Amino acid sequence: MSKEVSEEGQTHSHGKDYVDPPPAPLLDLGELKSWSFYRALIAEFIATLLFLYVTVATVIGHKKQTGPCDGVGLLGIAWAFGGMIFVLVYCTAGISGGHINPAVTFGLFLARKVSLVRAVGYMIAQCLGAICGVGFVKAFMKTPYNTLGGELTL
């Protein structure tokens, strides 16, 4: 069943009930003058910071448990990771697209969904957010972090 979709007075009938947006420009320097661009960078920074802070702190809590019923366990870690991604993407999707990961941003750049300026800005903000998030964990949980030697693998 084909629906007709109107885009700026044009009518298309091609089997889809939506219109794909045009590809993002490769280099759009006009974004550097836009407040929404900087708001999106801040959202990506804060989301990545919160994601790393909560998830690394959860793993530290699991690693320092002594008894079988202490801590959150592996299921709690999985819920922390999944829950944080869910909440953060939901909160930032309308602001920045909810990328939260440089690999996601790079993939969307390759698909021409974001411009080079936006992709590079997002990746820098995400990397800085990750560094700050782990830095906060190290600052607030200094003894457990140093006891584990910074190793947080399961």
User: Is 4 inside any structural domain?
Assistant: no
9 in any annotated domain: no
pLDDT-based confidence at residue 6 (cuts at 50, 70, 90):
low
In a domain, 140, yes or no: yes
Comparing CA positions, the residue from 82, 114, 111, 80 lying closest to residue 96 is 114
Residues 6+ apart with CB under 8 A from 29: 117
The pLDDT, as a whole number, for residue 142 is 83
Would you say 84 and 54 are in contact if contact means Cβ atoms under 8 Å apart? yes
Residue 58 lies in a domain: yes
Domain assignment present for 38: yes
Taking residues 50-78, what's their average pLDDT?
82
Quote the pLDDT of residue 106.
Answer: 95
Q: What is the DSSP letter of 148?
A: T
Question: Is 13 a domain residue?
Answer: no
**Residue 130 maps to a domain:** yes
Instruction: Give me the pLDDT at residue 14, please.
Output: 62
Q: Angle of helix 73-92 relative to helix 35-63, nearest 10 degrees?
A: 170
CATH code for the domain in which residue 56 is found: 1.20.1080.10
Most confident region among 33-37, 39-43, 60-64, 111-115 by mean pLDDT? 39-43
Is residue 125 a part of any domain in this protein?
Answer: yes
Mean pLDDT of the chain: 84
In eight-state DSSP terms, residue 45 is: H
| pLDDT of 114 over the 80 cut | yes
Identify the pLDDT of residue 3: 53
Structural domain total, the chain: 1
The residue range of the domain holding 138 is 24-147
High-pLDDT (> 70) share of the chain, %: 84
